[in-house]
Amino acid sequence: MAKVLVLCAANPAINPRPNRMIELLKHQHKVWAMGINATPIEKVEVFSYMPYKKRNMIGEAKLYLNVILKKWEKLIHTPNRLKIIEVLKSHRFDVIICHDLVLLPIVLSHKQNAKVLFDAREFYPAQNSANLRWRLLFANFNHYLCKTYLPKADFIVTVSEGLKKRYKQDYGVDCELFFSLPNYHKITPSISNQEDIKLIYHGSANPSRKIQESIKIIDYLDDRFSLDMMLVSTDNEYMQYLKKIVHQKQRKGKKIRIIPPVSFENIIPFSSSYDIGLYHIPPSNFNIKHSLPNKFFEYIQARLALAITPSEEMIPFVQQYHNAIIAKDFSAKSMAQAINTLDAKTIQKYKHNSSDAAKKLNLNSNKKLLEEIIDLLLK
């Protein structure tokens, strides 16, 4: 039984990848979890630290100065992260699983004898490349962190082939694929109604995802389709903008809604009452282009038919399981045209194929891989 710390810059009780690793490990190992505003997790000792306080004008000026002078330590060792150092000094772990790049230098400096597993869930030097402020302040910082600290990690996992290749190309590090697979749910595919076919999209209302483009799909869909957008607000101004667009569509008689998000553990059961899980995010940056997101596997676990863009990361899965319609390109019109070809019989077939896929693409498939990684680290 190993002593394992799962560390992230989020709440590990609800953040998908840390949470699912905790679930895999806690029955075989002694597990601790630590994150921002962390809440209790059954059978796990949880440590919490505070989020970084929003900078005032003076703090913002200092940040720009530190970036110009490349005083990267100032960006790493922020006051709110001192609690992490306290925990690392006061406990002896066998393995530390680090889920955020900015925390990796702290872990490597204070790990004692622990082995370090890093989860490179995105390509960090392009993390928020659509945002000018981020590019000015953090692109070079993340490049520095990758160049300096990734080679020092004992093991690295990532989410897709594209990210795996890019990390090898740019930083010379090898990554193991660790897909974002959810818990297995015993669900029977719902029966589709030819005249009332329900689509769902769920995810963060993040401007980089251009959700306004997904909303346009409703303009081209047949009347037998409806679309629910279950969005988690990360940017209030953007969320209000999306609500305004949806309201305009509703006034024109379009069957589209923004609905309140459900809890993390209820996403799959809630989604299972729908017919089609929608993935339509234009590849506006490298990470989106090579995304293989939680929602893709959650739609499958909910026994939905899928409607996806021609994503090079997703296509191999849907070609293997025959559970999706693929748009010809990334436009809203192309996606709607693909969906309009579907009838209830085809959707039902896709749902049953997703049900077969769900028996393989679930957390249990990651269990053996994670145990092998832990064993390798402890040798």
Q: DSSP letters of 136-148?
A: HHHHHHHHHHHHH
Beta bridge partners of 120: 158
pLDDT of 234 reads: 85
Q: Is the dihedral of CA 311, 313, 316, 318 positive or negative?
A: negative
Number of C-beta neighbours around residue 128 at 10 A: 19
CATH of 3-181+363-378, one of 1.10.357.10, 3.90.1300.10, 3.40.50.300, 3.40.50.2000: 3.40.50.2000
Which segments within 10-165 are labelled E, that is strand? 30-36, 45-49, 95-98, 115-120, 155-158
Alpha carbon distance 96, 4 (integer Å): 6
Classify residue 223 by burial, with Cβ atoms within 10 Å: 0-12, 13-18, 19+. exposed
pLDDT of 9 reads: 96
Domain ranges of the chain: 3-181+363-378, 197-360
Angle at 25 between CA 31 and CA 288, to 5 degrees: 105
Number of C-beta neighbours around residue 291 at 10 A: 24
pLDDT of 128 reads: 85
Alpha carbon distance 122, 139 (integer Å): 13
Q: Are 285 and 307 a contacting pair, CB within 8 Å? A: no
- Provide the CATH topology of domain 197-360: Rossmann fold (3.40.50)
Look-up of token digits 């790049």 = 101
Alpha carbon distance 51, 356 (integer Å): 41
Q: Is the dihedral of CA 300, 357, 179, 13 positive or negative?
A: positive
**Residue numbers in the chain where pLDDT is lower than 50:** none
How far CA 130 is from CA of 51, 166, 209, 286, 340, in Å, comes to: 23, 19, 10, 10, 32
pLDDT of 282 reads: 87
